[in-house]
Structure 1
Amino acid sequence: MTDGANGTDGVTYAWAPPEPAKRKNRSGLWIGIPAGATAVALIAASLVLIAPGASVAGVQIGGLTAGAAAQAISARLATTEVTVESPAGEVTVTGADLGATVDATAIAEKAFADNPMWKPAAWFPAGTGVEVQVDPAAAASVLREKAPGTYRAPVDAAVAFDTGSQSYVATPAEAGEGIDVAAVTAALQSAFDAGTAATSVQAGLVPVDAAVSTEKADAAVAGLNGILDNIGFYIGDERTVPVDRATAASWLTVTSDGKGEFPVAADQAGIQKVVDGLAGQVDRGAVNADVIVDTGGEVIKTLTEGQTGRSIGDTSGIAAAFAAQLAEANGKFALTVAETPFETTKTERHIDVNLSTQTTTLYQNGQVYRTYTISSGAGDHATHTGNFRIGWKTEMQDMGCVPGYDYCTKDVPWVSYFNGDEGFHGTYWHNNFGTPMSHGCINMTIPQAKELFDWAYRGTEVSVHY
């Protein structure tokens, strides 16, 4: 319709068609399906991923698994560069060159435990500092390779046998010199903490200790000389066959392991040469004992020591066993022998002095051995009765001849005292035996006194009676 037709200005208007009927909204169904799947995936991810924004020493680990985070942390450390300004100029090394490590797995697992994705309040935490560990040997090696002018090698302590002193001696260690690894490590730590990929440090030269110290060598020397002090083949506590120090040292090879230990190896063939002669030094027949006893059977004198017989028998395997034992720093080798017991012959001796008959009788095994006519003490000097034992003996002495005695007899021979100053002795000043004549001693002829002196040992019983 036009205005012309309706008396308007001639503009034609088109009316909008009527609004179609409103259809039922099903968008929720189509949109809800992927949204649910997304929610499930998000829940699953929150169980294994670290919260967004989490970082360790500048390494962003948010949204990563603990394993992937550990790899990222380690990779950052390995590629971090340190430019070292040393007296020999500049050298650049990486964390990998220095053998640098961190416990990245433990750190990442802790980051996940503290900052899981499902815990929004924990998102965007502050960075976590970690300690960098540098392998000193690897660091020293790479710095030495890159700046050889800064390095003087240390000299390890050494151990050797000295033929002059017949002992092992130590040569002291000598310190070397190299770039200060601690300063380089500190610089790497600072760069890693700051999350920077490169840094520089001025590092001076410091002493480099030898791998084998003087103290370690001294300890090895003490152990080796301990072996030499006691080495040999033993029967019980007896070192039956000693081995001289030079021979023992010729068996031993002592080497350094480069870490401070000095393992010992023993020459089985050298040991075998001594083992081959063991029978001649160990085997022996039994030796019977011969002893003098009193009437109670107690030994008062051993004339011959008894000795057990022994035989070593088969010696195969001894050299190998001793070699293994020496490698364990034990120089006392215990021999196994078959023993033969010895017998003991006992001879009982005692002396009887009869003052009534003026006789002295020596008894051996209950039988009369000798009977002598004697002169005992007379008058106020009568010989005391009782049971005594031979004590002090002397081949000759002056009797009396000191204040308090009313006589002086020079050079009295073969004196065997049994009761204070009373004893048997030889007599040259009278021949009136059978009659009391002395100041208390038992006077005898000189040959008789000598025979008693030799026969009666200290401890021999003496019975004096009427």
Structure 2
Amino acid sequence: MTDGANGTDGVTYAWTPAEPAKRKNRSGLWIGIPAGATAVALIAASLVLIAPGASVAGVQIGGLTAGAAAQAISARLADTEITVESPAGEVTVTGADLGATVDATAIAEKAFADNPMWKPSAWFPAGTGVEVQIDPAEAATVLRDRAPGTYQAPVDATVAFDAGSQTYVTTPSEAGEGIDIAAVTAALQTAFDEGTVAATAQADLVPVEAPVTTEEADAAAATLNGILDSAGFYVGDERTVPVDRAVAASWLTVTSDGEGDFAITADEAAIQSVVDGLAGAVDRPAVNADVIVDRGGEVIHARVEGQTGRAIGDTAGIAAAFAEQLSEGNGKYALNVTETPFETTTTERWIDVNLSAQTVTLYENGQVYRNWSMSSGKSGWDTHTGSFRIGWKTPMQDMGCVPGYDWCTKDVPWVAYFNGDEGFHGTYWHNNFGTPMSHGCINLTIANAKELYDWAYRGTEVSVHY
């Protein structure tokens, strides 16, 4: 516009547009992004990859992850070929055929730990040695199949019931023959260590032990015979219903797994046939005891032994439970019974010998049972006083008929000693009872002596006094 337009000095001015602001140069940023990402990726890779040049058994594992390295190591071992030269010829097998393994994962992880890519000083390290493992059974099988002329099968030990001896007996194992697996393993180890994919093994024929040894069979037989020794149904420690050895053996089946273990199984149905009769063999009523005691209450004789009554009740499930026990080597089956206690009747007995009154008195439960006249030891042969007990008894005996005695009485009846050579006995050579007549014994009539002999059990108290 002009100056006149606005009344100025007439000079014309023209306003020009402002110069655009310069845009920021971002090319460096766009160029720098891929470079930065690459650097980050390299850093990340250095944290998971093994350093270049690292190797295990000839397998280059540099630049690999531990997982990929483990796969490469295992593949090399599986593909390694061993030519086996033996007296029966030559065969070739691979590591895979032999069931060969190494702990490849642990090896690869160690290689990374020792040789990470981020650690340049560790690049190009030496190889790492590892131990090769072979599956003996797998190796034996492949060598046997490919070189049958080298193999003679071993014979496993066995266990069987012998009816004659009523025991389980062992048939010993017999060794076979086959290629020396240790030599094949050594050749594979050498090849693996040297990083080669093939090697030759010079292998002799060696004994091949049976998978089931005599010792393992003997142990199984011992378990089985232990079952037969104790087989039965028990109430407490009492084998109330024994099971015959042959019957118990007929219940059992023994199976070898071919590797040294023997499984025992039992026929539940056969066991049930015995279980069905348990009530008749186990159940019984209580029997009350009848005992003779001394004055202190100590039992000196049981005229009737007391017996606890018992009843077995429900037998459901016993056969199955016993079959399970037998399979575990336990032949003792404990029965659950309901018991009924017995009662006891006691009779107290003792004998009184009164030398002053020349009497023998039998006491029963504190009451006089019998009272008789007697003849004790005469002067110079006096019967000893004291407290004694009936000991040895004999229906008849010669007395004094040996050197050192000046008398001999034959066939003295119903003798019951209570103090050394002093005792009660019957007398047929005199009838002067009530007067001391003997050499220290207590003379009684034959009838009285016989009754005392039957009445006074061993241990009966005898009190001799004036």
TM-score by length of 1: 0.90
Q: Which residue pairs with 1:383 in the alignment?
A: 383
SS class of match (1:78): helix
Mean CA deviation greater in 93-102 or 224-233: 93-102
Unpaired stretches in structure 1, ≥5 consecutive residues: 1-25
Mean CA deviation greater in 177-186 or 315-324: 177-186
Are 2:369 and 1:369 aligned?
yes
Are 2:154 and 1:166 aligned?
no
Mean CA deviation greater in 150-159 or 217-226: 150-159
Deviation at 1:403, TM superposition (A): 4.7
Q: Which residue pairs with 1:96 in the alignment?
A: 96
Aligned counterparts of 2:27 and 2:313: Cα–Cα separation in 1:
106
Deviation at 1:80, TM superposition (A): 1.2
Q: 1:380 to 1:177 in 2, by over 3 A?
A: closer
Are 2:319 and 1:291 aligned?
no
Aligned residue pair count: 441
**Superposition pairs of residues 23-62 of structure 1, within 5 angstroms:** 34-62=34-62
Q: Which residue pairs with 2:436 in the alignment?
A: 436
Mean CA deviation greater in 260-269 or 286-295: 286-295
Aligned counterparts of 2:352 and 2:211: Cα–Cα separation in 1:
82
Deviation at 1:40, TM superposition (A): 2.6
Q: 1:140 to 1:418 in 2, by over 3 A?
A: closer
SS class of match (2:380): helix
Q: Which residue pairs with 2:131 in the alignment?
A: 131
Deviation at 1:356, TM superposition (A): 3.4
Aligned counterparts of 1:333 and 1:167: Cα–Cα separation in 2:
20
Aligned counterparts of 2:84 and 2:110: Cα–Cα separation in 1:
33
Deviation at 1:303, TM superposition (A): 1.5
Deviation at 1:393, TM superposition (A): 2.2
Q: Which amino acid aligns with 2:114?
A: D
Aligned counterparts of 2:369 and 2:416: Cα–Cα separation in 1:
18
**Superposition pairs of residues 16-415 of structure 1, within 5 angstroms:** 34-415=34-415
Are 2:447 and 1:447 aligned?
yes
SS class of match (1:83): strand
Q: Which residue pairs with 1:464 in the alignment?
A: 464
Q: 1:69 to 1:416 in 2, by over 3 A?
A: same
Deviation at 1:312, TM superposition (A): 1.0
CA deviation profile, 1:55-91 (whole Å, cap 9, x unmatched): 1111111111111111111111111111122233222
Q: Which residue pairs with 2:14 in the alignment?
A: none
Q: 1:55 to 1:351 in 2, by over 3 A?
A: same
Q: Which residue pairs with 1:23 in the alignment?
A: none
Q: 1:384 to 1:138 in 2, by over 3 A?
A: closer
Aligned counterparts of 1:418 and 1:229: Cα–Cα separation in 2:
45
Q: Which amino acid aligns with 1:333?
A: Y
SS class of match (1:263): strand
Deviation at 1:404, TM superposition (A): 4.5
Aligned counterparts of 2:425 and 2:51: Cα–Cα separation in 1:
116
SS class of match (2:256): coil
Deviation at 1:35, TM superposition (A): 4.3
Q: Which amino acid aligns with 1:245?
A: R
SS class of match (1:381): coil
Aligned counterparts of 1:299 and 1:115: Cα–Cα separation in 2:
90
Deviation at 1:402, TM superposition (A): 4.0
Identity rate, percent: 83
Q: 1:297 to 1:73 in 2, by over 3 A?
A: same
Aligned counterparts of 1:398 and 1:311: Cα–Cα separation in 2:
53
Q: 1:141 to 1:356 in 2, by over 3 A?
A: closer
Aligned counterparts of 1:417 and 1:67: Cα–Cα separation in 2:
98
CA deviation profile, 1:100-128 (whole Å, cap 9, x unmatched): 11111111111111111111111110111
Q: 1:387 to 1:178 in 2, by over 3 A?
A: closer
Q: 1:57 to 1:384 in 2, by over 3 A?
A: closer
Deviation at 1:254, TM superposition (A): 0.4
Aligned counterparts of 1:37 and 1:464: Cα–Cα separation in 2:
123
